[in-house]
Copies of this chain bind each other. A is one copy, B any other.
């Protein structure tokens, strides 16, 4: 009683395998009666087409690949859930690969396990890899960097502008000592937000103190620890505001400040990025620059699908943030 194939259905129904295939794929070239009969037999035998055979022959897997080094945090799961739903809408599945192994990534992409790929992976794919992908006409959309050629697509968030806007907002409130909480330097978004922050400082003539860029890894708990250490070091003269590279680190920062007896925003203001779902329920509700994650997810999938269908060439789309002022920021006390 091995796995039944199209051949078994054909034999049982007394027709050829091409007839079965046509019946199942709804190619209307068959006598309706035959088609019905075949379908009935297939149903009775619980026949399910083998996808590997199907994929090999058709050259299509009807799967999109999402390659990422991490799925931690609200940014990713919002992205993944929205992309998944959007894929389903187009008749595709989404294959999520969580790996840092470039070998794994490239062999899955070039080996055609998926029809198109979405890549978020912080610098690991280099120019040479991209060249190889171009030669193979791989359809790809990047989420963490923009492209100027027309074979690769990208849908990015303008993190530089967001960093600049957030810093400008704090400066506008009167803050003079503003610290930045970064991720790691391989994360494009972290670096660009920081650069925007630096640009604003410069524009308004505020001095930049190297100590004021704190590594928080974009996570709540590691930021919590980093800020506690920072507070111990700078207790005499704390910044009046922290600009955190994402909402999670903003939350960790707030917790650390509270743990040391500081009030937010009474003593210190904290601003984040992304506007993840929890941000508005946090205590205090977070001021943040909204990153339209769901929109990014939808645009990405739509763009990739159209690229696969040959309806569109790769293009760079940039989404801009929106400053959401809530309770975690205030004019400085001193």
Q: Which residues of A contact B (CB under 8 A)?
A: 1, 3, 46, 48-56, 61, 70-73, 76-78, 80-81, 84-85, 88, 93-99, 101, 104, 106-108, 110-113, 132, 135-136, 220-221, 224, 252, 255, 258-259, 277-278, 280-283
Contacts and interface: CB of A to CB of B under 8 A. Distances in A.
A77 to B, nearest CB: 5
B220 A278 contact: yes
A51 B281 CA distance: 46
Determine chain A's interface SS by DSSP, over half rule: helix
Question: 8 smallest A-B Cβ distances: which pairs?
Answer: A51-B111, A48-B110, A84-B98, A96-B96, A52-B56, A52-B55, A71-B77, A51-B113
Contacts of A76: 77
Nearest to A277: B221
Contact of A77 (B46, B77, B107, B258): B77
A72 B55 CA distance: 31
B111 A49 contact: yes
Given A52-B112, A220-B278, A93 B97 contact: yes
Contact of A281 (B73, B113, B136, B221): B221
Given A52-B112, A55-B52, A111-B49, A252 B224 contact: no
A77 B72 contact: yes
B220 A112 contact: no
A135 to B, nearest CB: 8
Contacts of A80: 71, 96, 98
A97 to B, nearest CB: 6
Contacts of A70: 81
Given A49-B111, A52-B61, A106-B48, A94 B98 contact: yes
Contacts of A99: 84, 88, 93
Given A81-B72, A98-B94, A258-B283, A48 B221 contact: no
